[in-house]
Structure 1
Amino acid sequence: MPQRRAITGRSQEPRARFAEELRLLRHARGASLRGVAEVVGWDASQFGKMENGHTLGGPEIVEALDQYYGTGGMLLTLWELAVADPTQFKERYRRYMVLEAEAVSMWQYSPSIIHGLLQTPEYAAELLKEGGLAGAELDAQVAARVGRRELLLAPGGPQFRTILSETALRSPLRDRDEWRVQLSHLAVMGERANVIIQVLPWEEGLHGLTNTDVMFLRGVGGRTVAWVETGYSGELVQETTSVEQLQLRYDRVRDLALSPEKSRQFIVGMVEEASCESST
């Protein structure tokens, strides 16, 4: 393992510290980003984004870097601190973010907005602005949210299913071009082997999750917990009976939703609509 350096004078902010450590380790090794990519895998640009603090990456890529640099889990520890850092996410999300990063499968229902794992930077920015964020804090939160997408993009990423209410797809961004980009991003992500996107049409009416944004996270050991959220607060549901009741409601909503293929056609149709609107 490389000799540890004194912490004095180095960044104390978890996200910046993680990025700094990645840069120092690579420079000490005398390796280029491309050289690291050739040995560890993933794209060199991914490592560049991590070293610049633009993304945290996922646990698999960090574990691979730990092995490459011989750091014995130190990088994964720094990554976990960065993920749970309250300056990146509000305090109530800290435990959830760790569980999300460790999940082997996730399934979610959105009654009104597109889930953060599928948001473009522009969508995230407009949504967070409406929540009162601005300036440097807004930039940091957008970067943190977009960085979470690496969970799905990394090789061996978790299985993810989202059911989007038609309401979420009929609530556009103010900039029509940015909205078209967001819809196109959904269509592209839906083609990934580990991502399933389904649309719940308005015509299906009321159901058990009409006003409930919920995410189920299944860990390596098979245990499932649920995260129930509003625009103002979130609650981690861990009690087995409560989780099972929510899962039953979710299963019934999934039965009402369009199939993945019909959902993709629905979204592609909306992309075409948005394209026509932005050109007029």
Structure 2
Amino acid sequence: MAPRNAPTARHRRLASEMRRLREQAGITVQQAAASLGADRTMISNIEAARTGLSEERVRQLASLYGCPDLALVDGLAAMTGPRRPSHWWDEYRGKIPEGHIEVSEVEHHATRIRTAQTVHLPGLLQTEDHARAIFELTVPKLSRLEVELRVAHRLARQRILTGTAPTPYVGIIHEAALRMEFGGHDVARAQLMHLADASERANVTLLVIPFSAGDFYGAGQSVLYAEGPVRQLDTVQLDTAMGAHFVDAPTPLANYRSLLDLMERSALSADKSREFIRSIARRL
């Protein structure tokens, strides 16, 4: 296929998974290329996401690498397609940081999302006023247009939680995040009530870790865990001072799954969490 000038996060992930399959099979780049009757640069370009992949080529390479996991191969095949398919987030490309765009893509394709927040509330559940207050605190300071673009993009991301086939979502939130009054009392109260109302949706579960829980695993971390069609294609997104950072290696993914499991054990039940959120809102 033709070279891809600007691969998406999804296509870069496909490329890294094809490299992982080859390395697990103990096959060199030269051997893979020779088996296909091609030059080694073709395999190198595929694994660097410089060249696109068709579904047929993915299955051909998976067979060559002896991958026995048919569900994984199907998942990889589903990640192929147009070099730049049209999605709603394309209108924000070049207007907001690329990391924000990539988070949209990861969330869009996730089969389930788990997140843990200890200072900020989950972006997928923020009100417009709360999100605006957050972006107005960005350093260096953003222009009014930049703030409004990021707010609009954040609100658009939230569509995955509504509609005819909403994405299952589990949010773990520490009490500290619930008590941060970004935008003032009125904005904070409205935001908390919005959280409580959202938790009543069938696909949304919110779990609160109260101060009374004491110390807990994952303190201080912000984690978004997006599940793929198979566990090998899960993705973790971490917020850093330099922007979004993505993790997809098997061992770190397993560690983050365990971490979120432990954080859930420290949290109140879904019903108690909802009432806890409403109780804080009533005192504002």
Same fold (TM over 0.5): yes
Partner of 2:209: 200
Partner of 1:115: 122
Unpaired runs of at least 5, structure 1: 1-72, 275-280
Is 2:262 the counterpart of 1:252? yes
Once residues 81 and 126 of structure 1 are traced to their aligned partners in structure 2, the CA distance between those partners, rounded to angstroms, is 22
| 1:186 paired residue among 178, 182, 195 | 195
| 2:223 paired residue among 214, 217, 221 | 214
Is 2:70 the counterpart of 1:85? no
Give 4+ residue runs of structure 1 displaced > 6 Å after superposition: none
Is 2:272 the counterpart of 1:272? no
Bigger shift: 215-224 or 119-128?
215-224
Count of residues in Structure 1 that have an aligned counterpart in Structure 2: 200
Contact 1:226–1:243 (CA under 8 A) maintained in structure 2: yes
CA drift of 1:147 comes to 1.1
Once residues 188 and 231 of structure 1 are traced to their aligned partners in structure 2, the CA distance between those partners, rounded to angstroms, is 31
Is 2:173 the counterpart of 1:164? yes
Once residues 88 and 146 of structure 2 are traced to their aligned partners in structure 1, the CA distance between those partners, rounded to angstroms, is 21
Partner of 2:9: none
Once residues 171 and 164 of structure 1 are traced to their aligned partners in structure 2, the CA distance between those partners, rounded to angstroms, is 12
- Matched AA of 1:226: V
CA drift of 1:145 comes to 0.6
Once residues 169 and 260 of structure 2 are traced to their aligned partners in structure 1, the CA distance between those partners, rounded to angstroms, is 14
Is 2:100 the counterpart of 1:100? no
Partner of 1:226: 236
Deviations 1:173-208 (A, max 9, x none): 243111111111001100000000010111223333
Identity of aligned residues (%): 25
CA drift of 1:101 comes to 0.8
Q: 1:191 to 1:177 in 2, by over 3 A?
A: same
Partner of 1:263: 273
Q: Provide the alpha-carbon RMSD of the alignment.
A: 2.1
Q: 1:83 to 1:163 in 2, by over 3 A?
A: farther
Contact 1:83–1:97 (CA under 8 A) maintained in structure 2: no
CA drift of 1:84 comes to 6.9
Bigger shift: 77-86 or 198-207?
77-86
Matches within 5 A, 1:23-102: 77-79=85-87, 82=90, 85-88=93-96, 90-102=97-109
Once residues 128 and 80 of structure 1 are traced to their aligned partners in structure 2, the CA distance between those partners, rounded to angstroms, is 21
SS at match of 2:236: strand
Partner of 1:64: none
| 2:132 paired residue among 117, 121, 125 | 125
- Matched AA of 2:274: R
Contact 1:99–1:219 (CA under 8 A) maintained in structure 2: no
Once residues 270 and 86 of structure 1 are traced to their aligned partners in structure 2, the CA distance between those partners, rounded to angstroms, is 39
Once residues 156 and 249 of structure 1 are traced to their aligned partners in structure 2, the CA distance between those partners, rounded to angstroms, is 28
Once residues 241 and 131 of structure 2 are traced to their aligned partners in structure 1, the CA distance between those partners, rounded to angstroms, is 14
Unpaired runs of at least 5, structure 2: 1-80
Once residues 149 and 162 of structure 2 are traced to their aligned partners in structure 1, the CA distance between those partners, rounded to angstroms, is 21
Contact 1:161–1:196 (CA under 8 A) maintained in structure 2: yes
| 1:135 paired residue among 140, 144, 148 | 144
TM-score where L is the length of structure 1: 0.67
Contact 1:217–1:225 (CA under 8 A) maintained in structure 2: yes
Contact 1:105–1:218 (CA under 8 A) maintained in structure 2: yes
Contact 1:215–1:227 (CA under 8 A) maintained in structure 2: yes
